[in-house]
């Protein structure tokens, strides 16, 4: 394994596998490990569980009742669309060999050609690795759905998701995990701070600016219509995140266990941090606050989870809960940007914060496992992490804006004012989430 720094921890190799996956793919001595394979198969189910039903119910409960089905539809349709695109070319572009252009994008393995039951990725079948990575590709554009709820055309959802997956997600995934230029620089992103959270968060901010606010924002109250649904979805996210971060160890062992422990502590600390600051400022803690703090803690610890101690996870989660709380206040109340379900202040800000904090809490002096590249220290790794963040923010913002403008040239992005007033459930899908006499929307 090239550029791997040995530490006293038995699972230091885990992070290196994520940074340099091709060294595992290329190994001629690789042998399938049944325990590793079983754990990743379990993680596949956990991560897909995060999107369907976890994220769907979380977002659906936070929307107004007249739009609940449209939110569920967006998450479900995105999962279906991205799955087919992954089969056709996604896996090849993300993890295939791009030859002379490999620093920028991968290639080959279209329709999963050449991948059989005997081909391996490290100690697990390559087909299992591909399916695990697909679950990440599904949830990332689904996260963005929180930015456009209640005002976007369904056709625009499909067009945007397909183009964004191709032009933003796949390059970022290859740069970080597929042997691209960020991996060459030594960027540390264990489970998706850059690939998932920064990309989804920045895209959501651009979408909110281009689409404009919902009718009535910010003067009219738009409270969640079903906090029980949102709470249930959030609880599913917490559980599913163990597969998200623990599965990224790509092995059943101490690395996965410590990643899960750090993840859990970050969720708990993020929840308490957000709840406490809300309690102090408003006099009462809210369910919405505590579950949003949990998501902030989980998203922020994601890039660091496999490189840090459980204590480091708790500290990162606490920082995330407080920081992301204030980010929501600034975005919505100060700047009056209608990122409807707070994707940028929670996932974008959390992803940026967590990616940078990885350089600090991965240090052995902070109880971490050290750095994957030889000669790195906290300062030099922080510089590399900043480079990765800057590259992801610039590429995502630029390409998202271009995609939206391109779609806008051939089709309307927003529904009409009348359709928005009536609700997308009826106007886009001819259905209602709740059928009750004298129901109020």
Give per-residue pLDDT as tens, 404-427.
999 999 999 999 999 999 999 999
Is there a domain that residue 213 lies in? yes
What pLDDT sits at residue 373?
81
Mean pLDDT to the nearest integer, 178-201: 97
Task: Give me the mean pLDDT over the 193-211 stretch.
Answer: 98
pLDDT at 27 over 70: no
**Would you say residue 49 has pLDDT above 90?**
yes
Q: Is pLDDT at 10 greater than 50 in this prediction?
A: no
pLDDT of residue 16: 41
Is the C-alpha dihedral spanning 27, 28, 32, 35 positive or negative? negative
* pLDDT the model gives residue 117: 85
Q: Is the per-residue pLDDT at 435 higher than 90?
A: no
Whether 7 is in a domain gets the answer no
Question: How many other CB atoms are there within 10 angstroms of residue 412's CB atom?
Answer: 12
Of 373 and 153, more confident: 153
Contact 243, 298 (CB under 8 A): no
Share of the chain above pLDDT 70, in %: 92
The angle, 0 to 180 degrees and rounded to 10, between the axes of the packed helices 154-164 and 126-148 is 140
Is residue 5 assigned to a domain?
Answer: no
> Please, what is the average pLDDT of the chain?
92
Residue 434 inside a domain? The answer is: no
The answer to whether 71 touches 145, Cβ cutoff 8 Å, is yes
Q: What is the spatial distance between Cα 424 and Cα 339, in angstroms, rounded to a whole number?
A: 18
366, 261, 355: which is closest to 299 by C-alpha? 355
In sequence order, what DSSP letters do the residues of 362-402 get, joined into one string? TSGGGT----SSTT--HHHHHHHHHHHHHHHHHHHHHHHHH
Round to whole Å and give the CA distance between 247 and 233. Answer: 20
The 10s digit of each residue's pLDDT in 229-240 is 999 999 999 999
337 within 8 A of 193, measured Cβ to Cβ: no
CA dist., res. 131 & res. 352, Å (int): 26
CB 109 within 8 Å of CB 95: yes
How many angstroms separate the CA atoms of 136 and 359, rounded? Answer: 23
- The alpha carbon of residue 172 and the mean position of all alpha carbons in its chain are separated, in whole angstroms, by 12
- Residues spanned by the domain of 62: 22-429
Q: Is 365 domain-assigned?
A: yes
Listing DSSP states for 84-115 in one string gives HHIIIIIHHHHHS--GGGTTT-----GGGTT-
**Is there a contact between 187 and 382 (Cβ–Cβ < 8 Å)?**
no
Q: What is the pLDDT of residues 275-308, one digit of tens each?
A: 999 999 999 999 999 999 999 999 999 999 999 9
For residue 134, pLDDT over 80 is answered with yes
329 backbone dihedrals φ, ψ, rounded to 5°: -60, -45
Q: Is the pLDDT of residue 5 over 50?
A: no
| Cβ atoms of residues 289 and 337 within 8 Å | no
What are residue 161's phi and psi, to 5 degrees?
A: -60, -40
Read off the pLDDT band of 17 (50, 70, 90). Answer: very low
Q: How far apart are the first and last CA of the chain?
A: 58
C-alpha 222/C-alpha 216 separation (Å) is 9
C-alpha–C-alpha distance, residues 267 and 173, integer Å? 25
Region 346-350 average pLDDT:
98
Burial 117-144 (b: 16+ CB within 10 A, else e): eebbbbbbbbbbbbbbbbbbbbbbbbbb
For the chain, the domain total comes to: 1
Question: How far is it, in rounded angstroms, from Cα 111 to Cα 239?
Answer: 31
Question: Can you give the three-state secondary structure of 178-247, one letter per residue?
Answer: CCCHHHHHCCCCCCCHHHHHHHHHHHHHHHHHHHCCCCCCCCCCCCCCCHHHHHHHHHHHHHHHHHHHHH
Domain assignment present for residue 12? The answer is no
Residue 424 lies in a domain: yes
- The pLDDT, as a whole number, for residue 439 is 52
| pLDDT score recorded for residue 440 | 52
With cut-offs at 50, 70 and 90, classify the pLDDT of residue 118. confident
The pLDDT of residue 438:
59
Using CB atoms within 10 Å of the CB of residue 17, give its burial: 0 to 12 exposed, 13 to 18 middle, 19+ buried: buried
Residue 400: band (very low, low, confident or very high) from pLDDT cuts 50, 70, 90 = very high
Q: Residue range 119-140: average pLDDT?
A: 96
Q: Write down the pLDDT at residue 30.
A: 74
Residue 199 falls inside a structural domain: yes
Residue 394 CB coordination number (10 Å): 11
Identify the helix (H) or strand (E) that includes residue 408: helix 378-410
Distance CA 96, CA 111 (A): 12
The CATH number that applies at residue 115 is: 1.10.3430.10
pLDDT tens digit sequence for 68-113 = 999 999 999 999 999 999 999 999 999 999 999 999 999 999 999 9
pLDDT band at 13; cut points 50, 70, 90 = very low
The closest alpha carbon to 141, from 197, 72, 69, 100, belongs to: 197
Sign of torsion, CA 300 302 306 311?
positive
pLDDT at 95: 97
Reply yes or no on whether the pLDDT at 333 is more than 90: yes
Give the DSSP H or E segment for 120: strand 120-121
Chain-centre distance of CA 193, in angstroms? Answer: 7
């Amino acid at each position: 394994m090239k550029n791997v720094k040995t530490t006293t921890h038995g699972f230091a190799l885990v992070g290196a596998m994520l940074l340099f996956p091709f060294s595992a793919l290329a190994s001629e001595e690789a042998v399938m490990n049944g325990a590793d394979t079983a754990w990743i198969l379990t993680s596949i189910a956990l991560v897909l569980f995060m999107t369907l039903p976890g994220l769907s119910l979380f977002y659906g409960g936070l929307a107004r009742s007249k739009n609940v089905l449209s939110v569920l539809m967006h998450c479900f349709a995105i999962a279906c669309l991205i799955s087919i695109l992954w089969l056709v070319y996604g896996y090849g572009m993300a993890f295939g060999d791009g030859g002379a252009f490999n620093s920028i994008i991968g290639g080959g393995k279209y329709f999963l050609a050449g991948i059989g039951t005997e081909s391996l990725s490290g100690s697990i079948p390559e087909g299992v690795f591909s399916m695990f990575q697909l679950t990440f590709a599904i949830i990332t554009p689904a996260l963005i759905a929180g930015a456009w709820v209640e005002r976007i055309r369904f056709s625009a959802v499909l067009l945007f998701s397909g183009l964004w997956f191709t032009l933003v997600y796949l390059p970022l995934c290859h740069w970080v995990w597929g042997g691209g230029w960020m991996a060459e620089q030594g960027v540390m992103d264990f489970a998706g701070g850059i690939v998932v959270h920064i990309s989804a968060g920045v895209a959501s901010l651009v979408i909110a600016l281009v689409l404009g606010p919902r009718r009535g924002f910010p003067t009219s109250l738009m409270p969640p219509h079903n906090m029980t649904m949102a709470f249930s979805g959030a609880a599913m996210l917490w559980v599913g995140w163990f597969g998200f971060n623990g599965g990224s160890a790509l092995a059943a062992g101490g690395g996965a266990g410590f990643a899960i422990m750090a993840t859990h502590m970050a969720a708990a600390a993020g929840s308490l941090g957000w709840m406490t600051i809300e309690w102090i400022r408003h006099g009462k803690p809210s369910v919405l606050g505590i579950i949003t703090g949990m998501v902030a803690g989980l998203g922020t610890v994601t890039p660091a989870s496999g490189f840090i101690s459980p204590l480091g996870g708790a500290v990162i989660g606490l920082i995330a809960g407080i920081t992301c709380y204030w980010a929501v206040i600034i975005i919505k109340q100060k700047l009056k940007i209608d990122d409807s379900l707070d994707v940028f202040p929670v996932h974008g800000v959390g992803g940026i914060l967590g990616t940078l904090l990885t350089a600090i809490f991965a240090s052995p002096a902070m109880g971490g496992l050290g750095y994957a590249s030889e000669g790195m220290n906290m300062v030099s790794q922080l510089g590399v992490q900043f480079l990765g963040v800057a590259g992801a923010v610039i590429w995502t913002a630029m390409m998202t804006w271009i995609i939206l403008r391109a779609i806008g040239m051939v089709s309307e992005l927003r529904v009409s004012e009348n359709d928005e007033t009536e609700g997308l459930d009826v106007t886009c899908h001819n259905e209602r989430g709740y059928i009750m006499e004298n129901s109020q929307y």
